[in-house]
Amino acid sequence: MPIPDLLIQYTKLFINNDWHESCSGRKIPVHNPATGELLCEVEEADAEDVDKAVRSARAAFQMGSPWRSMDASERGQLLNRLADLVERDQLLLATLEALDSGKVFLMAFFVDLMATIKTLRYYGGWADKIHGKTIPIDGEYFTYTRHEPIGVCGQIIPWNFPVMMFAWKIAPALCCGNTVVIKPAEQTPLTALHMAALIKEAGFPPGVVNVVAGYGQTAGCAIAHHMDIDKVAFTGSTAVGKLIQKAAGDTNLKRVTLELGGKNPNIVFADCDLEYAVEQAHSGLFFNQGQCCLAGSRVFVEEPIYEEFVRRSVEKARSKVLGSPLEPGVDQGPQIDQKQFDKIMDLIESGKTEGALLQCGGSAWGQQGLFIQPTVFSNVTDDMRIAKEEIFGPVQQIMCFRSVQEVIRRANATHYGLAAGVFTNDIDKALTVSSALQAGMVWVNCYNAMSAQCPFGGFKMSGNGRELGEYALQEYTEVKAVTIKISQKNS
């Protein structure tokens, strides 16, 4: 059960292992989206505060500093110690997450927090296993490579998985020996600030991790443009990702990794296990109120089973229980804020007016809070807005297809390329379709099967670079080749 009447302890900026008020004195109101209630106000960082945090991170990265002098194995121990502290405070963090994001408490506890702990432990294990190679070049030389940390990393995380994204960003960066300035979303800063306290308790040296809550237009913009940040990692919308990439090009060509939007196809063939496919397509869309870049929001169903698939999907959507995310038995909470709520409702209206068949939902729910009924559309065509735009809400589109080649063509006809699903009992079909889909992740007979060990990222306008797994280490290291003249080479 969540902690009742939880006292929010941390509301200031975390810079150089100390708590600071913002230079401007401005604060960010943090609301509970289930009730509209003001939870607290946190200090609002702007460019001046970001600059202070970057100076702290740069000092911590200087040669001879405690962080740069530390054994790689000790960095791993610190990450494991942080995982231990997250485990200790798991109930508190899950309660905070449910309060300011509207996420269902049990999902926060068993999915987000467990993933956070596993990610920290996974990269804790990698810290002393990052190494280069010796290279047998021609001539009397000895050549080797070093995989060195990039430097100061600016990281900007979204509101849909706040504490999990915090771990996804800091863990590989710290594992490789970088220092960090991280900005949580203005809607959901509470778990990031509590994590800052745990980072200090775990024993990380001052300046290694700095947490600055702020708005994208000010603090986020300052991170993207800062001349002393060496790399920026961003998770969020494609539109903002473009601005960050442009900012890097306009300033110091800082390294950039982007995890952006998706309009992910989920392809269901007639030879699948129908009930299982319905269940997976349902959870693949409605998980986290549909606020997930991985959401399988274009469900393509083969013609022979289309009508039955729609019927069962509607039945499942109607069975969802909406309400306070802190209450037991609830499996759908509110949308994050009024802006997102309005965007989703506008797209639902467009589905109705463009001729899709509204099977259920389609309206707001309840007397308070930002709740939207689980919504299912059938008879959706590829030219409709709901089939092209990322909705980021509890709205399922179900489309009909007739052949393998048709569905591959339609699934790839998008600017996005994050994830995809394929449901079939034919292994040849599974291999053919998964190879043809333009997506960074393809799940066969499953959906949202995530793991800290597996790379995460997209093709096309879903971003560049990879998070998680061994592949993420490449995003936080520079390769240096060292060649030494020797008197006698022995091969």
Exposure of 368 by Cβ count < 10 A (0-12 exposed, 13-18 middle, 19+ buried)? exposed
Q: Which residues contact 267 (CB under 8 A, 6 or more apart)?
A: 300, 401, 407, 411, 420, 421, 422, 423, 433
Residue pair 79/176 in contact (Cβ under 8 Å)? The answer is no
Find out whether 100 and 31 touch, Cβ atoms under 8 Å.
yes
Distance of alpha carbon 431 from alpha carbon 427, whole angstroms: 6
Which of 459, 467, 462, 417 lies closest to 238, judged by CA?
Answer: 462
Catalytic entry in 176, 221, 272, 293 = 293
Tell me the two tokens of residue 351: 């589905």
CA 92 – CA 105 distance, rounded (Å): 11
Distances (CA, A) of 143 to 74, 132, 367, 486: 28, 11, 69, 10
293 is catalytic: yes
Contacts of 246 by beta carbon, 8 Å cutoff, 6+ apart: none
221 has catalytic annotation: no
> d(Cα 53, Cα 223) in Å, to the nearest integer?
10
Q: Which residue of the set 259, 390, 467, 475 is catalytic?
A: 259
Q: Which residues are catalytic?
A: 259, 293
